[in-house]
Amino acid sequence: MNLDQISRPGRVAADGEAISAEELALAARNHGIPLEALRYDLTPPGLHYLLIHYDIPLTDDAAWQLSIGGQVARPLTLTMADLRARPASTVRVTMECAGNGRARLHPRPVSQPWLVEAVGTAEWTGVPLRDLLADAGADPGAADVVFTGADHGIERGVEQDYQRSLSLADATAPEVLVAYAMNGQPLPPQHGHPVRLVAPGWYGMAHVKWLRDVTVTAAPFTGYQNAVAYRLRQQPGDDGDPVTRIRPRALLVPPGFPDFMSRARVVDAGEHLLEGRAWSGQAPLVSVEVSADGGDTWARAELEPDTGHRWAWRRFTHRWAAAPGRHQLTARAHDATGAAQPLGQDWNRGGFANNAVQLVDVWCR
C-alpha cells in the first residue's frame, strides 16, 4: 500500500475555500478552552485545550516503563512506582498549541482549524528531567534529548511514533518535568496518562504525551516533528525556522452574553470590568493594553502582580465605559524582550506561532 494515497502533503486553502470535512473531523477530536473559562487560575482538565496527533493509546499504569538511554553512562528503566518514589516538583504552566489562530489566516493553512482558544493552564507534578538525566550519566557533550510517545500514525506520508527533541541545555532546565499528575490528579488519558513531558515556555508540540522513551543523542535530531513539521516556512521546500517558545498573547473573557451562532456579545450601556489572561514563553510580561475600537486607541490594563509562577498566565483587568453601538474589543501583551502582539500577522504555510490580537465584537444597547 502506498501511504501517499491516504496521507497527502500540506497545503494552503484556495481563495474562498470553505473549511473541509477533514478539518471538521480534526476539530471534533481537538478542542479549545471556552473563553469564559479564562476566569479560572487553573484550567479544569476537561476545559484545557487538547491536540492529539494520532490516537489516544490504551495505557496501563502498573505495566508502564520509561527508558532513558543513548549517550548515557547508566541506562535506566523506570516504572511509575519508581518515578513517584522520587522527589517531586510542581510547576504551573500555560500551554498553547503552536497552531493557535491558524483558521484566522488568509490564505488559510489546511490543518486543525484553531481560532484563539488553543490554550490552558495547569499545575503539573512530576520528576525534574535533569535529575533523571543526571542519574543516567548523560554525556555533557551530547546535542539533543529525544522524547518518544506511544502514539503512532502517519503524517504527510511518514509513518512514525510521535517524537520531538530538545537540546541538552533546554532539556536540563530545572522547570522541565516528566509529569504524572495534572492539577493534583493522575493524568487523564487524553493528556498523556500515565506520564508525559512538560516543557514550560514551549509551544505544545514539545510536551510529548504518553512518554515511553528518552534518548540522549550525539547529533541533532532530524525526525519529522522537528525537521519537517513545526517550521516557519513561506514556500514549499524552504527549510524554515523552527517553532520554539510561545510568543506573547493576551485573551479577553468576552463580556456580556453571546449570540449562539456568531458569538457576538451583547452588553448594557455603562461600566464593565473587562478581564482576561496574558502570557509569554519568551520572557516575563511587562504590560497589557486594551482597546475598545479595534486597536485604533489603547488604554493600559491593570496586570495582577507576579506571584512567582513564571510559566503561567497572569490576570489583567480594565474598566470600560460602554456606550450604545457596536464595539470591537481587543487586548495585546508586551514581554520583557520588547515583543508585543501584532494587529495583523506575518503569514507562514503552517499557520504557526500566530499571536495576532483577538477581536471580540460587542453590541451595546
pLDDT in tens, 210-252: 999 999 999 999 999 999 999 999 998 899 999 999 999 999 9
| Cα Dmax for the chain | 70
pTM: 0.96
What is the rounded CA–CA span in Å between residue 197 and residue 333? 27
Cβ-based burial of 306 (10 A; exposed 0-12, middle 13-18, buried ≥19): exposed
C-alpha triplet 225, 244, 67: angle, nearest 5°: 55
**Distance, CA of 285 to CA of 351 (rounded, Å):** 24
Q: Using CB atoms within 10 Å of the CB of residue 14, give its burial: 0 to 12 exposed, 13 to 18 middle, 19+ buried.
A: exposed
Burial class (CB in 10 A: 0-12, 13-18, 19+), 323: exposed
Query: Helix, strand, or coil here: 62?
Result: coil
* Residue 107 preceded by cis peptide, ω within 30: yes
d(CA 301, CA 275): 9
Helix (H) or strand (E) holding 41: none
One-letter identity of residue 8? R
Residue 88: predicted pLDDT: 97
What does the pLDDT look like over 76-125, one tens digit per residue?
999 999 999 999 999 999 999 999 999 999 999 999 999 999 999 999 99
CA-to-CA distance for 277 and 117, rounded, in angstroms? 12
Contact 174, 128 (CB under 8 A): yes
* DSSP summary character for residue 6: T
Nearest CA to 325 out of 267, 273, 271 is that of 267
DSSP 29: H
Task: Establish whether the linkage from the previous residue to 9 is cis, with ω within 30° of 0.
Answer: no
- The predicted pLDDT at position 207 comes to 98
User: Tens-digit pLDDT profile for the chain (365 aa)?
Assistant: 677 778 888 899 998 899 999 999 999 999 999 999 999 999 999 999 999 999 999 999 999 999 999 999 999 999 999 999 999 999 999 999 999 999 999 999 999 999 999 999 999 999 999 999 999 999 999 999 999 999 999 998 889 999 999 999 999 999 999 999 999 999 999 999 999 999 999 999 999 999 999 999 999 999 999 999 999 999 988 999 999 999 999 999 999 999 999 999 999 999 999 999 999 999 999 999 999 999 999 999 999 999 999 999 999 999 999 999 999 999 999 999 999 999 998 899 999 999 999 999 999 99
Sequence-separated (6 or more) residues with CB below 8 Å from residue 308: none
State the cell numbers at 355: 499571536
